[in-house]
Structure 1
């Protein structure tokens, strides 16, 4: 049975990164960092205070590891979702050791504590022979060649609507059902 969890906290250590190629030629990458998650609680005086900090080792593989290595640094506030596991090993003295790890499925910056900009991962190198390559073309659904198409409202370069273009929220069908 998996123990799926999500945690928020700060990256407590520099990210360590390793990559290589397996015996069968598959490329792999692994990133690891310690996450410090501090619980906050309201005291009897009504003030919020730190109660205690939990440290867990976050481990990620493949594309997620690459993204962590390129994007996350010590001190960053992050949200991590994944599966809890216990790593066990025998140390040099023959003693059984263990540590709690979080095998990450997703890692992102905590946007309640700051801002970030998203950029897509670079495309993997083409495996097609150079002479078979054709120049890439941009395809946008519903836009004829030479037309720019509508502005992307999330890009930051779309014009602000004029005051008479705003639509009140309750004008939408079903808005009253929202409360």
Structure 2
């Protein structure tokens, strides 16, 4: 499909609004994206124009968005751009919405702690041994049947 995918980096401008719909959970919030540039005359960073987007999240993303985001937090949103134009009360207006595929905190501004959404998911996940990602000194994958990982002496942690 020919959809316009965007990645917007900004701050949460409104508290996420969560709704239970017939089609499943839905959440929306406004995202403020402000351009910044280096002003050579003032020798400082300066804020440019601010664009506002309405971000829509559905299903599990909606639930996690409502539980995780608050006003002012820096976020990165990836999704489909939807631009609508309408006329209301004689006034023409345009809105830019993002139908989110992924939303996360911008770790350039701080730290975040990830938690799985539910214990049922974690408990039902099959536990398998960690795959062997190491390679042998000759560059071939380590296929030792013992399951022991090859580690060069320089990689051994003490």
Gaps in structure 1 of 5+ consecutive residues: 23-27, 126-135, 144-164, 168-179
Larger radius of gyration: 1
Instruction: State yes or no: 1:109 paired with 2:105.
Output: yes
| Alpha carbons of structure 1 residues 114 and 124: separation in structure 2 relative to 1, 3 Å | same
**Alignment partner of 1:70: what SS?**
helix
Q: Who is 2:95 aligned against? A: 99
1:43 corresponds to which of 16, 39, 45: 39
Q: Who is 1:6 aligned against? A: 7
Higher strand proportion (structure 1 or 2): 2
Question: 1:54 & 1:137 partners in 2: Cα distance?
Answer: 42
Matched residue count = 131
Question: 1:101 & 1:137 partners in 2: Cα distance?
Answer: 36
**Alignment partner of 1:66: what SS?**
helix
Alignment map for 1:109-148 (pairs within 5 Å):
109-123=105-119, 140-142=127-129
Q: Who is 1:72 aligned against? A: 69
Gaps in structure 2 of 5+ consecutive residues: 131-152
TM-align CA RMSD? 2.8
Deviation at 1:43, TM superposition (A): 1.1
